[in-house]
Chain A
Amino acid sequence: MPYFASLIVTPLIGAVLAFLVMFGLVQSQSAGPDQNPAEQAALVYGE
């Protein structure tokens, strides 16, 4: 790969990875529970 191209591709890959990591982390911390536990009448199997 020419020097110029690698100068673009390498930071691009880094940026995509960094975006994915940040997105994953934010997503994992901000996603609401699948069901509101307060609405559960009783303890269900698997909870």
Chain B
Amino acid sequence: MGRGFSRVLPDGLVVLVTLALTWPMWTEGGHGLARDLVFTPRAPWTLDAIGMGTSLPRAVPLDAVLAALTTVLDGAVVFRVAVAGVLLLAGWGAHRLLATVLPDVSTGARCVAAVAAVWNPYVVERLALGQWALLAGYAALWWLLPAVRRVLAGERSAWFAVVTWAWLGSLTPTGGAALVLVTAAGLLVARSRRAALVLLVTLAAQVPWVLAGVLGTAPATSDATGVDAFAARAERAGGVWATLLGTGGVWSPFQVPGSLTSWPGHLLTVLVLVVLAAGGLQVARREPALALAAAVGIVLAGLAHVPGGADALSWSVAHVPGAGLLRDGQKWLLPYVVLVVAAAGCAAARAEAALRRRDADLGRLLPGALVLVPLVLMPDAAAQTWEVVRPVTYPTDLAEAVAVLDDSPDTGDAVTLPWTSYREFAWGNPVSAADPLPRWTRHPVVVSDVLVVDAGWVAGEDPRAHEVGAVVAEPDGPLAQSLAKLGVGWVLVYRDQPGATDLDTSGLTPTVEGADVALYRVPGVDEEPAARPGGAAAVAAADVLWALTGLVALLGAAACTLRRRRREKVTGG
């Protein structure tokens, strides 16, 4: 195998498995819209985008970042770059981290880690749920760990990389919180001033959503019903802990590849235990903070299943601001998955070395076979991700309605009906999808935030949505009058939805009447736009500072990498 080929092989394999998981994204036109994944042509700059609307800052600073990116690029491009980008970064980072754990690691073992970092239950299930931004936290951790190591060793220029990866990983609160968990573990392990500074940097990366949560109007506590609904779930016989050890366990059954519900799933759990036994110690010795965070993460992931855990979680979620982050248990496997994948690379290297001593040819072949193991055990992974990443073409009626809302001087919030948070659009993919309107128009939009789940429903936190939902459910007279009393100025009806034809639209003025979408003006609403909530300016200023810091760090990290490469070239390194 040539040296050049060996160098690009792990990266090339990552490209291949990323392509396999996201194929429809490259073969069909349109924007991403499925489950939690929403990309529109142009994300708006709204108070909700910075977490200062009436809902909890769950997608902060992600929405503001998307608004910034889609001012220069269409959302269709951003969608593809973002989704493929997080998978590529995870795979590319995985084998590079392995090379820092085992400096003389073979290309074969690097390939094992690279493929396993992308093709594993955690990544597949979270991508199938549309949570690509959480995977940005996962991808960032692969790069953050070596950067932190360089900082702890006294390399000043590595601070740029630490800030860059901490910022990227903190696009959503949970991704950011997982990075804080790892760096907090790092401080416990290293007990040095530099480790404390690293923790401070990751804490600073959380400023956009923490500040919005503190200064915003939405209650920071959540419905405790969600603890049961979003707890990690056993995917096969053997219980939830066996599933979690195998890096699966997402709360929803619809994202789980069929292969994991049976024999291959059991084999995967056994294999994970084998690789942890064979390579976990090597990784833990080199990255003790990761091992500690992984242990805490797996306990948090299964907390709802330990005696008293569900009660403690329910109380915390209902009473402690921000504890709602703990509801979705499996998310917290993030550091554990990194540990398992790195351990798989180490285990492959050990097995390869042992076999080479007996038979050089077989030893060389082994990693090639091991690379295939994740694909063999989960051959239907792409079936889960394709239905989410397959782009949709938004109806022209919806684009027209957005243009009317954006350009109209008429005030009053817009609401979308039928009143529900997730819909299966006739023009979309055959899965539930979030409402695209609030992620498209600049106009304030109120949508239902009640989550219908198997066991019933989980209440949202948005008081404005609660108010509107109550009126829509039981209007006091004609719907138009009831909505006008609440200051709702626009009604957008998704006509393909069940119940859309039964809606009372009497008294509403049609503005856009398409086959898929209708937009109505509610007469008699001419109130002044609501004053900006106090603190919005402070949050916006903090966000600008956050963005500038991230940009400077990114440029600094790029410059340092270029300089290092040039130096290595000169010295022949």
Chain A residues in the interface with B (C-beta under 8 A): 1, 6, 9-10, 13, 17, 20-21, 23-25, 27-31, 34-35, 42-47
Most chain A CB atoms below 10 A, which of B358, B376, B432, B453: B376
Q: A23-B264, A44-B432 are in contact. Are A28 and B362 (CB under 8 A)?
A: no
A-B contact pairs, 6 of them (CB 8 A): A1-B359, A28-B257, A43-B422, A43-B424, A46-B251, A46-B255
- A46, B252: Cβ atoms closer than 8 Å: yes
* Contact residues in B for A21 (Cβ distance below 8 Å): 376, 379
Roughly how many angstroms separate A44 CA and B186 CA in the complex, as a whole number?
Answer: 40
Point out residues on B near A: beta carbons under 8 Å. 35, 129, 251-259, 261-264, 358-359, 361-362, 369, 372, 376-380, 383, 420-424, 431-432, 451-454
**CB <8 Å contact, B422 and A45:** yes
Contact of B376 among A6, A10, A24, A43 (CB under 8 A): A24
For A44, what are the chain B residues with a Cβ–Cβ distance below 8 Å?
A: 422, 432, 452-454
Tally inter-chain residue pairs, CB-CB below 8 A: 84
**Bound complex: CA A15 to CA B565 (Å):** 45
Give A37 to B43 CA distance when docked, in angstroms: 33
Majority DSSP secondary structure for residues of B touching A: mixed
- 6 closest A-B pairs by CB: A31-B258, A28-B380, A46-B252, A1-B359, A34-B253, A24-B379
Given contacts A20-B264, A28-B257, A44-B452, 18 further A-B contacts (CB under 8 A): A17-B372, A21-B376, A23-B264, A24-B376, A25-B379, A28-B383, A29-B380, A30-B258, A31-B258, A34-B261, A35-B253, A43-B423, A44-B422, A44-B454, A45-B451, A45-B453, A46-B251, A46-B432
Q: How far is the CA of A21 from the CA of B264 in the complex (A)?
A: 10
Whole-angstrom CA separation of A47 from B128 in the bound complex = 10
Q: Give the nearest-CB partner of A42 in chain B.
A: B452
- Are the C-beta atoms of B423 and A27 separated by less than 8 Å? no
Contacting residue for B432 out of A20, A34, A35, A43, CB 8 A:
A43
Q: A43-B423, A46-B129 are in contact. Are A1 and B358 (CB under 8 A)?
A: yes
Residues of chain B within 8 A (CB-CB) of A28 are 257-259, 379-380, 383
Beyond A1-B362, A28-B383, A44-B432, whether A34 also contacts B376 by CB under 8 A is: no
Q: Which residues in B have their C-beta under 8 angstroms from that of A10? A: 362
Most buried by B among A28, A29, A44, A46: A46
Q: Are B378 and A24 in contact (CB under 8 A)?
A: yes
State how many angstroms separate the Cβ of B472 from the closest Cβ of chain A.
Answer: 16
How many angstroms between the C-alpha atoms of A35 and B454 in the bound complex? 10
The verdict on A27 contacting B262 (CB below 8 Å), with A9-B362, A17-B376 known, is yes
Return chain A residues, CB-CB under 8 Å to B358.
1
